[in-house]
Amino acid sequence: MILIVMGVSGAGKTLIGELLAQQLHCSFTDGDAFHSAANKAKMHQGIALTDEDRWPWLQAIRDAIEAKQRAGETAVFTCSSLKRAYRDVLRGGGDHDVCFIYLHGTPALLQQRLQTRTGHFFDPSLLQSQLDTLEVPGADEAVTVSIEPAPQEIVRQVLGLIEMRGRRA
| Contact (CB, 8 A) for 77 and 16 | no
1-59 pLDDT, tens digit per residue, is 899 999 998 899 999 999 999 999 999 999 989 988 898 888 778 888 888 998 999 99
Give pLDDT, residue 63. 96
Q: What is the pTM of this model?
A: 0.87
Span of 21-25, 68-72, 130-134 with lowest mean pLDDT: 130-134
Domain covering 2-163 in this structure, CATH number: 3.40.50.300
CA distance linking residue 30 with residue 116, whole number of Å: 20
Report angle CA 102, 105, 111 to the nearest 5 degrees. 125
Does the pLDDT at position 83 exceed 70? yes
The reported pLDDT for the residue numbered 118 is 59
Distance spanning both ends of the chain, measured CA to CA: 7
| pLDDT over 60 (residue 168) | no
Q: For residue 117, is pLDDT > 80?
A: no
Q: What digits encode the pLDDT tens for the residues 140-154?
A: 899 999 999 999 999
| pLDDT (tens digit per residue) in 86-105 | 999 999 876 678 999 999 99
State pLDDT tens for residues 30-45: 998 998 889 888 877 8
**Average pLDDT for 102-131:** 76
Cβ proximity of 3 and 77 under 8 Å: yes
Q: Where are the domains of the chain?
A: 2-163
